[in-house]
Homo-oligomer: A and B are copies of this chain.
Amino acid sequence: MDRQKIKEAGLKLTPQRLAILDYLRDNLEHPSAEDIYKAMLERFPTMSLATVYNTLETLREKGAIQEVTIDPQKKRFDPNPRPHHHLICTRCKRVLDIHIDYQLHVPEAKKNGFEIVGNHIEFYGICPDCRLKMSVMQS
């Protein structure tokens, strides 16, 4: 399936691209380039960080993955290119997908002349792990 994604995007099939897509597939962590690079090094000791960045940018450009602007420190990547929303732990920065179709109507008067083509909702909260840690610290 990864092979197809790459071919469909009109890109050459390389082991690096396959490895990155394989790592991203079913990955719910929304990893950063650095995260991906580290994971790659384990099974692919020669891969360059530049290749990770190149690959991610190329895949994003072709619509095969999505870049999520959620972490002020760094870009993070989402293997799911379809529009969806995110649930973010404000403490540990964990990001989970939320698939709900909200109908968000913006009155013409508030559009400021924009032609609106999409939206993205960030829900902020504290994840179960952090809730636990916080309650432990208090006691």
Contact = CB atoms under 8 A, between A and B. Distances in A.
A19 to B, nearest CB: 24
A96 B58 CA distance: 29
Interface of A: 67, 69-72, 75, 87, 89-90, 96, 98-100, 102, 104, 106-107, 110-128, 131
A117 B121 contact: no
A71 B70 CA distance: 9
B110 A128 contact: no
Nearest to A118: B124
Contacts of A115: 125-126, 131
A67 B126 CA distance: 19
Nearest to A87: B114
12 contacts: A67-B72, A69-B69, A69-B72, A100-B106, A102-B102, A102-B104, A104-B123, A106-B123, A112-B128, A116-B124, A117-B124, A121-B122
B123 A119 contact: yes
Contacts of A124: 116-120
Contacts of A127: 112-114
B89 A114 contact: yes
